[in-house]
Structure 1
Amino acid sequence: MRRALVPVLTTLLLLLGVPAVHAAPDPAAPAVAKASKRALWFGDSYFVGGGCSPDEFRGMAANASYELGYDPVIRGAGGTGFVAANPEYGIPPYLAQIRQGAFDVGDVDLVVVEGGSNDIGRSLSKIRRNTKRVLLIAKKRFPGTPIIVVGPMQTYGPWSDTDGIRDAMKAVSRKLGLRFVNDQKWTAGHDDWLCSDYVHPTYAGHQQLGHRLAQALAKRGA
Structure 2
Amino acid sequence: MRQSSAAFRLLAPLIAVGVLAVGCGPSPATPVSTPTRSAAPGPAQTAAAPPLRTAPAPSALDLPVGSLYKNPANNRNELVLADVRHTAVLIGDSQAMPKDSWPQQGIAALGYKLHVVGMGGTGFVAANGTTGNYIDALQRGDWILPYGDPPLIVIQGGGNDASQKATDAQITSNAERLLAALKKRYPGAALAMIGTLARGTDNGGGRRTEVDALLGRLAAKHGIPFVSTGDWLTRFNAVGDLQDGVHLKPSGHVKLGAVLARELTALGLTARPDSAAPAK
TM-score tier by shorter-chain length is 0.7 to 0.9
Aligned twin of 1:84: 126
Deviations 1:70-116 (A, max 9, x none): 001111110111111112xx221111111133352122111110111
How far apart, CA to CA, are the structure 1 residues paired with 2:185 and 2:144? 8
The number of equivalent residue pairs is 179
The structure with more radius of gyration: 2
Per-residue deviation, 1:160: 2.9
User: Which stretch has the larger CA shift, 150-159 or 212-221?
Assistant: 150-159
Per-residue deviation, 1:155: 5.3
User: Which stretch has the larger CA shift, 109-118 or 157-166?
Assistant: 157-166
Q: Is 1:132 aligned to 2:176, yes or no?
A: yes
Aligned twin of 1:93: 133
How far apart, CA to CA, are the structure 1 residues paired with 2:223 and 2:233? 28
Deviations 1:148-203 (A, max 9, x none): 111111259722312432232122212212111101111213223211x1211111
Per-residue deviation, 1:147: 0.6
Pick from 155, 158, 166: which aligns with 1:116? 158
Which has the bigger relative contact order, CA under 8 A and spacing at least 6?
A: 1
Query: RMSD over aligned Cα, in angstroms?
Result: 2.1
C-alpha distance 218-75 of structure 1, shift in aligned 2 (>3 A): same
What TM-score, normalized to structure 2? 0.59
Amino acid at match of 1:61: P
How far apart, CA to CA, are the structure 2 residues paired with 1:136 and 1:170? 17
- Report the identity percentage: 30
Q: Is this contact kept in 2: 1:41–1:111, CA < 8 A?
A: yes
Amino acid at match of 1:111: I
Q: Is 1:153 aligned to 2:197, yes or no?
A: yes
What TM-score, normalized to structure 1? 0.74
Q: Is this contact kept in 2: 1:152–1:183, CA < 8 A?
A: yes
Aligned twin of 1:207: 254
Secondary structure of the corresponding residue to residue 154 of structure 2: strand
Q: Is this contact kept in 2: 1:153–1:186, CA < 8 A?
A: yes
